[in-house]
Chain A
Amino acid sequence: MDLNLTPEEQRFRDELRAWLAANVPQPFAGGTNEEEKGEYFNFLRAWQRKVFDAGWAGISWPKEYGGRGAALIEQAILTEEWARAEAPPLINALGLSLIGPTIIAVGTPEQKSRFLPKILSCEEIWCQGFSEPNSGSDVASLATKATIDGDHFVVNGQKIWTSLAHVADWVLLLVRTDPNVPKHKGITALLVDMHSPGVTVRPLKQMNGDASFNEVFFDNVRVPMANVLGEINKGWSTAITTLMNERAHLGTGTYVAFKRNYDQLIAHTRQMKRNGRPVSKDPVIRQKLAQAFMELEIFRLTNTRALSKMQNQHVPGPENSILKIQWSEYNQRFQQIAMETLGPVAQLQGFDGGKWVYDFLRTRANTIEAGTSEIQRNIVAERVLGLPKSY
């Protein structure tokens, strides 16, 4: 075991740290109303462009597609530096952590050079069209169908819970192309232009007032054959590649936000008083804040260990399987602790711009999106521990 940075990793960190110090913009939290959200979106889009131009987006992606060709472990260093510098997140999260890596894994050379650089630069925003109204956890039961018409597929059906669809330019879509074979075998993955005729997006308002999830309808949408990702009727293996990336990488961005929220909460506890003393001195609150810090650390270390294993042994280790459960459940517990720590003021929309209310409610989705906690536990039980399949 050697957790010291190699000279090369050290150089990477120093260079990144210097760049962040010079380039991280003034904090801009945006807001929860539609107008402020649009402004925030443009701010984040401009930030990602800046990050891309400096060569820090998609650092482990091949250089020829705008990445840096860096080792995986450098992703962990980047995450920590990002959190330390309190830098804004990268908005094209699904493109960066799910769709880009899938295109790298199974895309044609044309698809790679066409799509990858624009994901990194945020020129094209991506969403992921897997879930359907009647197939949530059972992704392979999807019904959206595509039939061949000359050199095009024609897509009809509906997707749901599609994050970022309202702003997305492209979607990685799973469709049924052969209804006469077992459900996993007749699926194809398509790269679909969201601006195509026949695509309709309807935002779904969430309990926190936000509308970042959508319903997406496909009505005779024509998709060129060249946009098949992987092979026709073998889309399930493409989907699995994406889902594995989802479990492994979505949490990376979560750590940055989680750490920033933690630091902000601690700053509040030192200033707020209750029972004649700073909230930070309340022994019960201290226990809970320490527990949240411990969980944040466990997540960071498990993630770093997973990246190290993948880099050195080229296979995911068992730690990968629990990262989704960790970030989603730890984040929920942290938001609850934050509300308790701040006290009655935490519920007010006028406190910190309603940030704590918004985040508290938003984390309810964490254990549902990207595979529910129940599904994640099934996967651990069956694929890691070898227990018999329950469904």
Chain B
Amino acid sequence: MDFDLSKAQKLLQQSARDFFARECKPERVRELMASETAFDDKLWRDMADQGFTGLTIPEEYGGLGLSLVDLIAVTEEMGRSCLPGPFISTLWAAILIERAGNEGQRKQYLEPIAAGDLKATVALLEESGEWNPAAVMLAAIKDGKEYRLRGTKHYVSDAAIADVIIVVARENTDLVLLPVERGAAGIKITETPAIDATRKLYTVEFDNVAIPESNALALTTKTKEAVEAATDVATVALCAEMLGGMVWTLDTTVEYAKTRQQFGKPIGIYQAVQHQCADMFNFTESARSAIYYAAWAVAENDPSAKLAVSVAKSFCSDAAREVGNRGVQVHGGIGFTWEHNIQLYYKRAKSSEILFGDANYHREKIAEKVVDELEG
């Protein structure tokens, strides 16, 4: 048993750390955050050159065919740099296409995603904000050889720069997955400014948007399972990104506590400050244990995988926010300013807390498994 990244994974992580430290400095994050879509095409293409956009895409579709454990080594570094843009959205869509699409669809979408030529996202949530795919109500009405989409999706990440949006819709009792190209007739995308301007959210309205039946990803009852499986993978990747944010916040706060003087001494000499930092460390390393295990369990199809994902996300959702709280507190007044970079990470932690379900949502999923399972 070896409960750590391998040598090769550590090398991959180091090269990612160097790349993002060079290409995604805080000044760049701030520029992108102020831009309309928080997207930088050159940065995206450079990421593709590094292989990041196709890391887990099978080699036959131009990716590197690596595992989820390799991926989290990289997404942790994205989080450390607070990387703006559609990486998690595109990853989520790519896994869904790989799970649910046919051979032609995989080729059609995964190859350009791996090459950095295509960005994507998934439209799942509706007005209720429920992450459970069973709650999807948006209508896909069969009209001859076409589906007609009518309704509204909310909280869709990166919709304005996604070349394709995978829409989770309902046809009677079944769910269908319909890829909609940006610019399709009848689609309207509106930004809904939210707490984290580095990962923008949109409302997407569908007014009788026509999609050929043959474009649908999976016309089987396995649709819900495919959405859940893709969401599990994306959730673990997001947790690792959250971990990177926690590591940045901890490192930056400890450094500040060593240098900032009050009463003639560095504030880090005071136990009240030391204990805040020790708690941040505890949250960070505990999150790492949970994420590593979840990534391994999902990659290996271990029977404990779904439970491990919910344990990781419920822990990270609260921990990332709490690490941010402690970090801002130790920084004092400067930590509350627009000028200090801790705000970028704090806002990202808050948006990631909600993405793919917050701690309450995942605790209910845990309860379904450990409190209910043996019942009856």
Contact = CB atoms under 8 A, between A and B. Distances in A.
Nearest to B2: A2
A280 B3 contact: no
B349 interface: no
B69 interface: yes
Interface string A282-320: 010011011101100110011011001100100000110
A1 B269 contact: no
Given A3-B297, A385-B281, A388-B269, 13 more contacts: A1-B292, A2-B2, A5-B1, A287-B364, A290-B367, A290-B371, A302-B285, A326-B282, A378-B274, A380-B277, A381-B274, A384-B281, A386-B254
A363 B6 CA distance: 38
- List the 6 closest A-B pairs by CB distance, nearest first: A381-B274, A308-B3, A290-B363, A387-B268, A377-B278, A290-B366
22 contacts: A2-B296, A3-B3, A3-B293, A3-B300, A280-B371, A286-B364, A289-B371, A290-B371, A293-B366, A301-B290, A305-B289, A305-B292, A318-B285, A322-B285, A326-B286, A377-B279, A378-B275, A380-B277, A380-B282, A387-B258, A388-B265, A390-B270
Interface string A193-237: 000000000000000000000000000000000000000000000
A73 interface: yes
A138 interface: no
Contacts of A76: 1
Contact of B296 (A3, A6, A374, A387): A3
Interface string B250-280: 0000100110000001101111011101110
Contacts of B343: none
Contacts of A297: 290, 308, 311
A9 B364 CA distance: 34
B274 A1 contact: no
A321 B277 CA distance: 13
A1 B285 contact: no
Given A1-B69, A319-B289, A387-B258, A377 B274 contact: yes
With a 10 A CB-CB cut-off, give which of B5, B281, B286, B292 has the most chain A CB atoms. Answer: B286
Contacts of A291: 314, 363
Given A270-B375, A318-B285, A381-B268, A304 B367 contact: no
A4 B274 contact: no
Interface in A51-94: 73, 76
Contact of B1 (A9, A283, A378, A381): A9
A156 interface: no
B66 interface: no
A308 B1 contact: yes
A351 B268 CA distance: 48
Contacts of B274: 377-378, 381-382, 385, 387, 390
Contacts of A374: 271, 275
Contacts of A319: 285, 288-289
B14 interface: no
Interface of B: 1-6, 9, 69, 254, 257-258, 265-266, 268-271, 273-275, 277-279, 281-282, 285-286, 288-290, 292-293, 295-297, 300, 308, 311, 314-315, 360, 363-364, 366-367, 370-372, 374-375
Nearest to B376: A270
Contacts of B6: 1
Contact of A298 (B268, B315, B360, B366): B315
A294 B314 contact: yes
A298 B1 contact: no
A320 to B, nearest CB: 10
A163 interface: no
A85 to B, nearest CB: 17
A288 B278 CA distance: 25
Contacts of A387: 254, 257-258, 268-269, 273-274, 277
A387 B276 CA distance: 12
A316 B135 CA distance: 47
Contacts of B3: 1, 3, 301, 304-305, 308-309
Nearest to A312: B2
A321 B281 CA distance: 10
A239 interface: no
Nearest to B292: A1
Given A290-B364, A377-B274, A305 B268 contact: no
